[in-house]
Amino acid sequence: MQDVFSKLGPLIIASRLKRMSDYIMRAGAEFYNSNGVDFEPKWFPLYYLLSHEKELGIMDIAQKLNISHPAVIQLAKELEKKGWVTSTKSKEDARKRLLKLSKKGISFLPQLQLIWDDIREVNRQVVESQSTNVLNALEEMEVFFASKSYTERMKEYQESKK
């Protein structure tokens, strides 16, 4: 039996992407926990970036990850609360907050890298088992929306119907 999401096709693309994302995020959280690490998959982009950049400001992070300033602040708060990241005020600009991995964050990096190797391999298997490469398709969608936003496209379409 076909589920409602499948029946609705293009109308429900965002919900289908969210459902798949939620599924993969839950599985990832279970995998981290089964490996003895209290780490949420949603923290990965920020943590990974800081593991390579050492110290960055909130705005720099938002730009590098292509996410909103408030989203970075929310992730940073969660990571700080768990002790993975520390935050300090910039010496050059007191309004600017700088983030870096804490001692705890640094100490878990080797263990996390081993987990990421496993996740990368399983994800590679998933991607390669599909007839369409979902990573390529997502990148194409991102480029498509970077050239003109979803909202602009909707407005143009509605105008064209008049």
11, 83: one domain: yes
CA distances from 136 to 19, 105, 128, 143, 151 (A): 19, 32, 11, 11, 23
Given a contact cutoff of 8 angstroms between Cβ atoms, the answer to whether 44 and 78 are in contact is no
Average per-residue pLDDT for the chain = 93
Q: pTM for the whole thing?
A: 0.86
- In this prediction, residue 94 has a pLDDT band, given cuts at 50, 70 and 90, of confident
CATH code (residue 108): 1.10.10.10
Q: Is 88 helix (H, G, I), strand (E, B) or coil?
A: strand
Give the pLDDT of residue 1. 54
Residue 2 scores a pLDDT above 70: no
Give percent of the chain with pLDDT exceeding 90: 80
- Residue 89, phi then psi, degrees to nearest 5: -80, 145
63, 86: one domain: yes
User: Which residues constitute the domain of residue 152?
Assistant: 132-162
54, 110: one domain: yes
Give the pLDDT of residue 9. 84
Q: Report which of 34, 20, 53, 52 is spatially closest to residue 137, judged by C-alpha positions.
A: 20
CA distances from 38 to 17, 74, 110, 146 (A): 25, 18, 15, 35
25, 62: one domain: yes
Total domain count, the chain: 2
142, 69: one domain: no
136, 113: one domain: no
Q: What is the pLDDT of residues 23-81, one digit of tens each?
A: 999 999 999 999 999 999 999 999 999 999 989 999 999 999 999 999 999 999 999 99
